[in-house]
């Protein structure tokens, strides 16, 4: 359950929003939920950055693809990402990789603590970390979501491994 925000929370959120606007960030705001969405890009792609602040001095950052994960790839990629979350030490601690089936998008989700005072370096460090995590897997997921896999039966002519008949 979400608690009612204090005046201090509202002040801090508004101060951060003003700082981001001063830095020419294009923001879609949701004042009620203490959240915003902005566009981010690198040389390969564009994605959304969603940030939501919570009452207990923490915030969630999501880097989310703007490209659509194809229907036939959703389950396959989701299973691979679940395995990656299980084996990746960073993911178990700080980052969750997931496919959002409703939005058909790939996400890297991280949480961070809200810093005290008006120094926003904690925020930019957390966003930088999140976007780096997103970029780490997004190329792979994007390519995997758009490939068509065809299976052909192996014959003796096209098999890499020589075919032998096993006799009992």
Show me where the domains of the chain are located: 7-146
d(CA 66, CA 138): 11
Fold of 7-146: Yope Regulator; Chain: A, (3.30.1460)
Helix (H) or strand (E) holding 137: helix 121-146
d(CA 11, CA 72): 45
d(CA 119, CA 108): 25
Q: What is the pTM (predicted TM-score) of this model?
A: 0.74
The tokens for 8 are 């201090």
d(CA 143, CA 164): 36
Instruction: Report the candidate in 78, 133, 79 with the shortest Cα–Cα distance to residue 100.
Output: 78
Each residue's pLDDT expressed in tens, for the chain with a length of 168 residues: 234 456 667 777 888 899 999 999 999 998 888 899 999 988 888 899 999 988 667 889 999 998 888 887 888 888 888 877 765 555 445 678 888 888 888 999 998 888 776 678 889 999 999 999 899 888 888 888 776 555 555 555 654 544 444 444
Q: SS3 for 107?
A: strand
Q: Which residues contact 54 (CB under 8 A, 6 or more apart)?
A: 34, 60
């Amino acid at each position: 359950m979400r608690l009612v925000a204090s005046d201090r929370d509202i002040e801090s959120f508004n101060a951060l929003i003003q700082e981001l606007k001063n830095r020419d960030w294009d923001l879609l705001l949701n004042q009620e939920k203490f959240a915003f969405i902005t566009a981010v890009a690198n040389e390969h792609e564009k994605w959304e950055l969603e940030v939501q602040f919570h009452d207990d001095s923490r915030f969630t950052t999501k880097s989310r693809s703007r490209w659509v994960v194809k229907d036939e790839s959703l389950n396959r990629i989701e299973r691979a990402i679940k395995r990656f979350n299980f084996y990746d030490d960073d993911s178990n601690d700080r980052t969750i990789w997931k496919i959002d089936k409703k939005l058909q998008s790939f996400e890297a989700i991280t949480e961070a603590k809200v810093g005290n005072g008006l120094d926003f370096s904690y925020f930019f460090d957390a966003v930088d970390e999140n976007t780096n995590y997103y970029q780490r897997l997004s190329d792979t997921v994007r390519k995997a979501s758009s490939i068509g896999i065809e299976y052909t039966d192996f014959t003796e002519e096209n098999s890499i491994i020589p075919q032998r008949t096993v006799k009992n």
